[in-house]
Amino acid sequence: PPGLQEQYCNFCTENYLKTNPFIVYVLQGVDKEINEGWEEGIILDIAGNSKSVLVAGERITGEDFWVLYKILKNHPYIHGLDVRYNLIADTGAYYAAKLLQRQPSITYLNLMFNDIGPEGGEVIAKALRKNTTLKYLRMTGNKIENKGGMFFAAMLQINSSLEKLDLGDCDLGMQSVIAFATVLTQNTAIKGINLNRPIMYGEQEESTVHIGHMLKENHFLIELHMCKHDIKNYGMQQLCDALYLNCSLRYLDVSCNKITRDGMVHLAEVLKRNTTLEVIDLSFNRIEDAGAVYLSETLHSHNRSLKAYSDLIQSGRLNSDHTDVEPYVVDEHVYLAEVSNGLKRHYYWTPTFGDTYVPSSSAGFALVPVGQHL
C-alpha cells in the first residue's frame, strides 16, 4: 500500500488542494519509521514550534487537519498526534473530534495553543463521551472559556478511560472549575488534571473549597494543578484539611497564588502526617522567610516523601541545571540573572536536543510517573 506521504499528496491532487510542505516533510519521516519495522506507537509530531516548520513551510490550518483526518482515520500505526502551536482553530477541532470517533488507536492528542474556542471545545468533549481509548489530552491555551469547560466536565461523568486532561490557560470560569471538582468526586479514571489560570471573580475562594471537598472523596487523582487560582490562606487551609484524608495525590501545584506564611503553618502540620505528597510547587507565593522556616523544620523532622530537591542534595555538587541563577559579567563585575529551571521548565516547550527531562529541574511526571505519555 502507498505510504502516508503518497496518500497525502494523492488526496490533495484529487481535491485540487495545495500540499503543505511541513506535512509532507513530517510524513516522510513517519513512512521511514514504518518501513524500518517500527509499526507500533508512532507519535505524529507536527508541532508548529518545531524547527521543521522553519525548514519545510507554514503551520497547519483547519483545512490541513481535514486532510490529515482523511488519511489517518484508517491508519492503526499512529498512536499519538502532536499538533501544538498551529492554526487549526474550531474547524480543525471538528476533525480532531471525528478522528477520535473513527481512530481507536490514538491514545495521545496534543492540541495546545491552536486558537480553538468554545465551539471547538464542545465538539471535542462530546466526541470523548464515546471514546474509550484516548489517555491524555492537552487543550492548553485554547480559549474554550466557561462554556467549553462545562462540556468537558460533563464528559468526565461518562468517560472512564481518559487519564490526564490539561485545560490550563483555557479561560475556564468559576462555574466550570466547580463542575470539575464535583465530577471528580465520582470519576476514578483521571490521574492528572490541569486547571491553571481560570478567570475568577470574587474573594470567597469558592472553587478552592469545592476542590478541597473533592480531594477528601477522590482517592485516584495523582496530580493537580491550581496555578493562578487566587488561593489565599483560607483556601490553603481547605486544601490542607483535605490532605489529611487524601492518600493518592503526589503532585500539588499551587504556584502563583496569594498564600502567605500563615498558610504554610497549615501545610507544615499536614506534612507531618501526609506521606504521599512528593512534589508541592509553591513558587511565586508570599510565604517569606518565616513560611520557608515552617516547612523546612517539618521536612527535617517528619516528612520523608517530598523529593523535589533530593537530586540537588545527593549529587554532592551544583550543576547549572539545578540552580535558578546564571552568572554573567559586565565591566569585569559578575552579576546573577534568574533563569527558569523550575518544575514547569518544559511545560510550554521542549528542547530538540540534550537531556530533556532532568528530574530535579523539570519535575512533573519525571518525578511522578503515571503512564505512557503522562
pLDDT tens for residues 268-315? Answer: 999 999 989 988 999 899 988 888 888 888 877 775 555 544 444 344
φ and ψ of 55, to 5 deg: -80, -45
Q: What is the pLDDT of residue 365?
A: 47
pLDDT tens for residues 120-169? Answer: 999 999 999 999 999 999 999 999 999 999 999 999 999 999 999 999 99
- Answer whether residue 368 shows pLDDT above 60: no
Residues 6+ apart with CB under 8 A from 51: 352
- Answer whether residue 16 shows pLDDT above 70: yes
pLDDT above 70: percentage of residues in the chain: 79
In our burial notation (b when 16+ CB lie closer than 10 A, e otherwise), range 3-41 reads ebbebbbebbeeeeeebbebbbbbbeebbeebeeeeeee
| Res. 196 pLDDT band, cuts 50 70 90 | very high
Give pTM, 2 decimals.
0.87
Type of residue numbered 176: S
- Answer whether residue 182 shows pLDDT above 90: yes
Per domain, the residue ranges of the chain are 4-309, 310-374
pLDDT tens for residues 88-106? Answer: 999 999 999 999 999 999 9
* Cell numbers for 373: 505519555
Domain 4-309 has CATH 3.40.50.1980: no
How distant, in Å, are the alpha carbons of 85, 178, 187, 210, 260 from that of 146?
Answer: 22, 11, 20, 17, 29
Residues 368, 250: contact at Cβ < 8 Å?
yes
